[in-house]
Structure 1
Amino acid sequence: MVDQKKIPILEAVRAHQALERVSLHVPGHKAGQGLGSEIGAYARHMGRLDVTELQGVDDLHHPTGPILEAEQLAAAAWGVEETHFLVGGSTVGNLVAILTAVRPGDLVVVARNAHQSVWSGLELAGAKIVPVFPEVESGLAGPVAFSTIQHALQRYPTCKVLILTSPTYFGTASDLVSIVDLAHKNNIVVIVDEAHGAHLAFHSDLPPSAVQVGADLIIHSAHKMLASFTQSGLLHVNGPRVDRDQVRKWLRTLQSSSPSYLLLASVDSARQQMAIEGKQLLSFVMVALQHAKERVALAVSDLLVTPIQPAFQDPFKWVLDATRIHKTGFLLESLLRERFGIYAELATERHVLFVWTYASTQRDIDLVVEALLQVVKESPIEDVPIYQGEYKQKVAGSPIALYNLSQQVSHIVKGTLEEAVGHIVAESLIPYPPGIPYVLPGEVLTAETVQLLLEFHAWNQRIDGLLDEDPPSIRYYVDVVKEQGGEAVS
């Protein structure tokens, strides 16, 4: 019987500090005593926890002591066979999962709204990809439907790996029970980027977690929805389809050889907190949020986007449709930030995203509701240009190979967006946030896509991969694949 009250990593670091009188090892701040005065005022005590791989505190890459015990406690808490702590966030978890499961040339069905790290992993693995597109609700990319996955697997029976993002950035989960069952019947490895769902397994009224339905590799960002430090995460492993030695090999390859014990201890602490009192903490905020939503709905209907299938929506994610009060998402976000000190997770041309967690207080909720009611009360019926574009829903297309820049640098040329129409893109074009590529390396740039990218940019949304070489010009450039024979883009 495991004792979930234990925090092995934190306990080991504390024990070490009680023994150490002189530090003749890294890190250079020497248990916090060398930190500058400004940061030291905040972090000197935490600096005492920032140790290195010393006797008694274990080694992340070859754990045999407190780190191994902490990972075993985490596996028990989430109900999986094996768990590994991450100090590079979900990004490194996605890379490790993909490089473990995918071989060069393997056919991989992947949700098109996957994070950039997924596409990077597929490029490194040399995969052939079949992108499947999510359902669209209120202009938002939702989950990928079971029927879409079913169609893709029927069309491409040689598929080796299925990669899903669930829940999405906006909190909507896929029907993982049906999808994982279908994939496993076809001997397909299922990877779920559940970066925003580390809390789901701890309350029965939340959408099902991938760890509960037997997915093979599940990635959690511990810092997104749990009380852990930024850049911490977990990689969970299940079933016979995953080579555990390969998992450990890629973890050693991709993770820092000097992992932060602050991050490791924070994951360990977050696990203990959820295992002991997670349901109670989640329940309190879930009830408070439901009452708050009802208050907002009385003032203006549909300001909060209601999914078609509420059972698959995470109540800790609020998506506001600013068009309901005749504003853009950017304008609503700036009003909340500048007037009320309320900082949202994301604003788009139409929406604003709030991320609540069990650390949110009743005071936080009341302040946000009062601010929203005040904005609604003051909102005139203005003639505001509202972007009504939607995430384009498509069906599974032909498999494509992500263009490998590291091998084909000499074949890359730069052209304006307009000149690049009809050419293969050599670098992802990624609106941030949320970091989901709109165009992938290997895809052909269309005139419609160019128009949408320019509209995104006009709404002040940053797009990685889109270059402006001579500001304040309105000419934007993109890297594309040079035609055979050396012809320039024109």
Structure 2
Amino acid sequence: MHRRRRHPRRQPDRRDQCATGVWTLKHDTAPLFDSLKQFVERDQAPFYSPGHKGGRTLDPWFRAHLADLDLNNLPDTDTLHCPEGPIADAEELIADAWGVGQSFILVQGSTSGNIAVALSALRPGEPVLVARNAHKSVLAGLVQVGARPIWLEPRWDARFGVAHGLDADVVERAFAESAAKALWVLHPTYYGTTGDIAALAELCRRYDAKLLVDGAHSPHFAFHPDLPTPGERSGAAATVQSVHKILSGLSQAAVLHVDPTQLDPATVRRALQLIQTTSPHFAIMASIDLARRQMMTDGREMLEATLDRARRTAGRLAAIPGLTVLRPDHLAGPGTGLHQLDETKLLVGTSTLDMDARDVVARLNAVHGVQPELSGTGHVLCISTIGNTEADMDRLVAGFDEVARRAGRRPEESHGMVADVLAVRPEPVLTPREAFFAGAESVRLSEAAGRIAAEAITPYPPGIPLVMPGERLDVEVLALLTALRDGGNPISASDPTMGFVKVVT
């Protein structure tokens, strides 16, 4: 996956030469602010998160007084770590709106929620089934707790070059072969696809295990029947959601829902007190409160309009020669990792265009003022939300049409050694925590045979780690990494060129 924000390091003129000939940095500049100001002032169609799309769906008074709301823990404002007033009231309303036993406000995104889930639901050395395409915050939680992950391969989709959810039969076999006490799933994936959450919840009940849901991209599921089944209403012990990704929350606005019959709320609060800042941004918290109010008063209607726009746009994009759009007719059925689809997400397949997806995104942005969320090998992801407009959709379609005509066609792209990556199962030797706290050194890839990885190594495609921290770099793994490197595949690691690899000393 190639995030849209990646770009070559620029070398702006931010130095002055004084009379002595010594160069000094120019402190009358503000490079980050200047870059943000330039980006915001451009006329563009936003197909990235956050969901409010530049403030379009924010409460007008709230938007005008953001700086005024940058407050501290005062008697009138309540305290996030030990809420007793308006924050506690807001959390009670959140739980009622999403239909759960108890909810917690998060100001450090779903990352803080996933780490809190690990600290609350898992124990050191305890086996837990985890989707291998889990977000890195899940890995962070495993490192902090010391639980022993049993990694499960998600369903691979060669048409779009993406991984979906977990097939239920894969999970059932893993439960039968292990003593796992929990299943941690991604629901939905970044691309809006889900496994059969009801089937997975039933497996957890059968094997007396907790269902933990990283639902960062699912805060809207509870508010419209045409969206996938909400994890928080399917028997999950804990569900984490990023309110900012899809709804009208400011960046880092998130919530953690728990079932108090499965997970002790006091234990969760204690975990959050360890993780979350003692100086939370009250505007972030207020944006969650307002997003909940918006969904409960106007959410059904707003999401209905969003789905209608997205469905019509998907049809228009799919009619452009060279493009494919992930749609409900691609679903694989109950029990599979491709069971349901969030149709507000527009996953556009570009594998038959004679242009790299990164170049597609670059041209959409530079020429058409259309900024997608990300590109990957053979696909572009556009996130549409309640904040997008018909004009945005028209620009998106017009932009893709021009880019597709300019690019021309080629035979459908092969994903090379993806099958080999998915088939390899490195031997787990240490838990991620043990690997993290062990000494580490960089060694040449050619000299790493038998060593234990101290880092995750993720080729794109498939965007699923080939190696996790604590797994052995055997001859088969090294041969595949070498082939991937020599074939020009992007690889996420401490050394993306794969000349060196971090290993445990």
TM range (shorter): 0.7 to 0.9
Code of the residue aligned with 2:432 in structure 1: it is L
Q: Counterpart of 1:364?
A: 392
Distance 1:355 1:37 in 2: 26
- Please identify, of 237-246 and 435-444, the stretch whose mean Cα deviation from structure 2 is larger: 435-444
Report SS of the residue matched to 1:80: coil
1:454 aligns with 2:454: no
Shift of 1:244: 1.8
Shift of 1:331: 2.1
Q: Counterpart of 2:192?
A: 171
- Please identify, of 109-118 and 396-405, the stretch whose mean Cα deviation from structure 2 is larger: 396-405
* Alignment of structure 1 residues 1-20 onto 2, 5 Å: none
Q: Counterpart of 2:331?
A: 308
Code of the residue aligned with 1:363 in structure 2: it is A
1:97 aligns with 2:144: no
Shift of 1:452: 6.4
Report SS of the residue matched to 1:374: helix
Distance 1:109 1:271 in 2: 32
Shift of 1:44: 8.3
1:80 aligns with 2:109: no
Query: 1:417·1:476 contact (CA, 8 Å) conserved in 2?
Result: yes
Report SS of the residue matched to 2:422: coil
Task: Give the unaligned 5+ runs of structure 1.
Answer: 1-35, 468-473, 483-490
Shift of 1:45: 3.5
Distance 1:428 1:357 in 2: 32
Deviations 1:299-336 (A, max 9, x none): 33752134334760111212222122232212211221
* Alignment of structure 1 residues 56-455 onto 2, 5 Å: 56-138=76-158, 139-156=161-178, 158-300=179-321, 303-306=324-327, 307-309=330-332, 312-381=340-409, 388-390=416-418, 392-394=421-423, 401-405=431-435, 407-409=437-439, 412-429=440-457, 437-445=465-473, 446-451=477-482, 454=485
Report SS of the residue matched to 1:108: strand
TM-score, normalising length from structure 2?
0.79
Code of the residue aligned with 2:87 in structure 1: it is I
Deviations 1:80-102 (A, max 9, x none): 00000001111110000011111
Q: Do the aligned partners of residues 333 and 425 (structure 1) sit closer, same or farther apart at CA in structure 2, a change above 3 Å counting?
A: same
Distance 2:210 2:237 in 1: 6
Distance 2:34 2:501 in 1: 44
Query: Pick from 455, 466, 481: which aligns with 2:504?
Result: 481
Query: 2:163·2:462 contact (CA, 8 Å) conserved in 1?
Result: no
Q: Do the aligned partners of residues 122 and 205 (structure 1) sit closer, same or farther apart at CA in structure 2, a change above 3 Å counting?
A: same
Code of the residue aligned with 2:434 in structure 1: it is N
Deviations 1:19-65 (A, max 9, x none): xxxxxxxxxxxxxxxxx99999x998421111101112100111111
Deviations 1:90-148 (A, max 9, x none): 11100000111111111111111101111111122111111111011123111101111
Query: 1:58·1:65 contact (CA, 8 Å) conserved in 2?
Result: yes
Distance 2:324 2:241 in 1: 30
Code of the residue aligned with 2:200 in structure 1: it is I
Code of the residue aligned with 1:375 in structure 2: it is V
Deviations 1:139-190 (A, max 9, x none): 311110111111111111x211110011011111110011112202322111
**4+ runs deviating over 4 angstroms:** 36-40, 382-389, 394-400, 430-438
Query: 2:449·2:478 contact (CA, 8 Å) conserved in 1?
Result: yes
Q: Do the aligned partners of residues 403 and 99 (structure 1) sit closer, same or farther apart at CA in structure 2, a change above 3 Å counting?
A: closer
Query: 2:347·2:381 contact (CA, 8 Å) conserved in 1?
Result: yes
Q: Do the aligned partners of residues 149 and 387 (structure 1) sit closer, same or farther apart at CA in structure 2, a change above 3 Å counting?
A: closer
Q: Do the aligned partners of residues 296 and 178 (structure 1) sit closer, same or farther apart at CA in structure 2, a change above 3 Å counting?
A: same
Report SS of the residue matched to 1:324: coil
Distance 1:383 1:182 in 2: 42
- Please identify, of 250-259 and 240-249, the stretch whose mean Cα deviation from structure 2 is larger: 240-249
Q: Counterpart of 2:6?
A: none
Deviations 1:413-466 (A, max 9, x none): 21122322442101223579999644211122312441465279x46x572422
- Please identify, of 186-195 and 418-427, the stretch whose mean Cα deviation from structure 2 is larger: 418-427
Query: 1:133·1:396 contact (CA, 8 Å) conserved in 2?
Result: no
1:466 aligns with 2:487: no
Q: Do the aligned partners of residues 353 and 418 (structure 1) sit closer, same or farther apart at CA in structure 2, a change above 3 Å counting?
A: farther
Query: 1:131·1:396 contact (CA, 8 Å) conserved in 2?
Result: no
Report SS of the residue matched to 1:343: strand
Query: 2:428·2:470 contact (CA, 8 Å) conserved in 1?
Result: no
Percent of residue pairs bearing the same amino acid type: 31
Distance 1:297 1:414 in 2: 46
Query: 1:116·1:437 contact (CA, 8 Å) conserved in 2?
Result: no
Shift of 1:353: 1.1
Shift of 1:273: 0.8
- Please identify, of 326-335 and 125-134, the stretch whose mean Cα deviation from structure 2 is larger: 326-335
Task: Give the unaligned 5+ runs of structure 2.
Answer: 1-32, 41-62, 333-337
Structure of higher RCO (CA pairs closer than 8 Å, 6+ residues apart): 2
Query: 1:189·1:241 contact (CA, 8 Å) conserved in 2?
Result: yes
Cα root mean square deviation, aligned: 2.9
Query: 2:143·2:436 contact (CA, 8 Å) conserved in 1?
Result: no
Query: 2:162·2:462 contact (CA, 8 Å) conserved in 1?
Result: no
Distance 1:88 1:288 in 2: 31
Code of the residue aligned with 1:331 in structure 2: it is D
Distance 2:414 2:203 in 1: 41
Query: 1:85·1:264 contact (CA, 8 Å) conserved in 2?
Result: yes
Distance 2:225 2:486 in 1: 41
Report SS of the residue matched to 1:105: coil
Report SS of the residue matched to 1:215: coil
Distance 2:35 2:361 in 1: 31
Distance 2:174 2:359 in 1: 39
